[in-house]
Amino acid sequence: MIKVAGLIKRFGGQAVLDGIDLAIEQGEIVVIIGPSGTGKSTLLRCLNFLERPDAGRLTIGDMEVDVTRATRADILTARRRTAFVFQNYALFANKTALENIAEGLIVVNRWPKARAHARAREILERIGLADKADAYPASLSGGQQQRVGIGRAMAAQAEVILFDEPTSSLDPEWVEEVLGLMKRLAAERQTMLVVTHEMSFARDVADRVIFMEGGRIVEQGPPDQLFGAPKDPRTRDFLRQVLATQVALDVPE
Ligand SMILES: Nc1ncnc2c1ncn2[C@@H]1O[C@H](COP(=O)(O)OP(=O)(O)O)[C@@H](O)[C@H]1O
Ligand SMILES: [Mg+2]
């Protein structure tokens, strides 16, 4: 389980996260939606200390810390238990697909190279890129690069994979293959926290959808409820705007 309570993050005096309480069960698929600039990325980044939060308690598995007092060891533990999939893939340009997936196992988990490479080959099979083991990122399509990014997160065997708009940088033709891989992971009950604007993915795959605005969770619920009967006017406004540009889904007035 991963849980935050009273999470606050300020930038220059302004609270970008203004008291977030969130618990995700093992095997749960949670999608976060909300306008841009609302703190979604900052929330994900705080969960593995890419940003240092200003207040709150963080629980990941058997680790529980006051985030302002987290030691270096706590931060390493949080990073080992949360894997991150970035919008812009963040692959090493000078490493092959196989090496990108193996790197964390070697550096963070201290696996011998041969074992890490064997595991990376298994992952490449699972993400449908066995024939691209020796390819460098520049020779891969955006969709393939992001599948490697997801493969790297899979290799980490983290408690939760955090996805920050994993398809937003992709040309439209690559979106489905990345969403397809994420759907397979969801079907295997990999715990996932996904920030996305892909509403049909949220509707089909999420156990729970969270609407955030202004650094707060405004509303959350199962997708049928959040999309079909949103309670807060801010949720309704946001859904109407987003869905106007996407697949037609009815949002009641
Ligand atoms: N490193 C930073 N320094 C200062 N302000 C930041 C930083 N990162 C994010 N912000 C600000 O925090 C707010 C939330 O950003 P972000 O979490 O990226 O929102 P979202 O992912 O929902 O679009 C924005 O106003 C953004 O400009
Ligand atoms: Mg963001």
CA distance 252 to 136: 48
Ligand 2 mean position to 189 CA, how many Å?
24
Residue 9, ligand 1, Cβ within 6 A = no
On whether the CB atoms of residues 100 and 92 are closer than 8 A, the answer is yes
Regarding the beta carbon of 40 and ligand 1, being less than 6 Å apart is answered: yes
Identify the structural domains of the chain with CATH numbers, from first to last: 2-87+160-250 (3.40.50.300)
The residue to mutate among 16, 40, 84, 162, having the most atoms of ligand 1 within 8 angstroms of its beta carbon, is: 16
- Alpha-carbon distance of 115 to 42, in angstroms, equals 34
pLDDT score recorded for residue 244:
81
CA distance linking residue 206 with residue 165, whole number of Å: 15
- DSSP labels for 167-231? TTTS-HHHHHHHHHHHHHHHHTT--EEEE-S-HHHHHHH-SEEEEEETTEEEEEE-HHHHHHS--
pLDDT tens string, the chain, 253 residues long: the values are 999 999 999 999 899 999 999 999 999 999 999 999 999 999 999 999 999 999 999 999 999 999 999 999 999 999 999 999 999 999 999 999 999 999 999 998 899 999 999 999 999 999 999 999 999 999 999 999 999 999 999 999 999 999 999 999 999 999 999 999 999 999 999 999 999 999 999 999 999 999 999 999 999 999 999 999 999 999 999 999 988 876 555 555 5
Q: Cα(173)–Cα(146) distance, rounded to whole angstroms?
A: 13
Phi, psi dihedrals of residue 39, rounded to the nearest 5°: 105, 10
Q: What sign for the dihedral angle of Cα 132, 92, 205, 80?
A: positive
What does the DSSP 8-state code read for residue 38?
S
144 pocket-lining for ligand 1 (C-beta < 6 Å): no
Determine contact, residues 185/147, Cβ cutoff 8 Å: no
Residues 190/24, Cβ–Cβ less than 8 Å? no
Nearest CA residue ID for atom 5, ligand 1: 11
Any atom of ligand 1 within 6 Å of the Cβ of 36: yes
- Decide whether any atom of ligand 1 lies within 6 Å of the 190 Cβ: no
Cβ of 11 closer than 6 Å to ligand 1, yes or no, is yes
* Cβ–Cβ under 8 Å, residues 140 and 97: yes
Q: How many Cα neighbours within 13 Å face the side chain of 180?
A: 11
Three-state SS at 123: helix
Helices (H), the chain: 40-47, 72-81, 97-107, 113-126, 142-155, 172-187, 199-205, 223-228, 233-244
Q: Which amino acid, residue 140?
A: L
Residues 6+ apart with CB under 8 A from 235: 211, 218, 219, 226
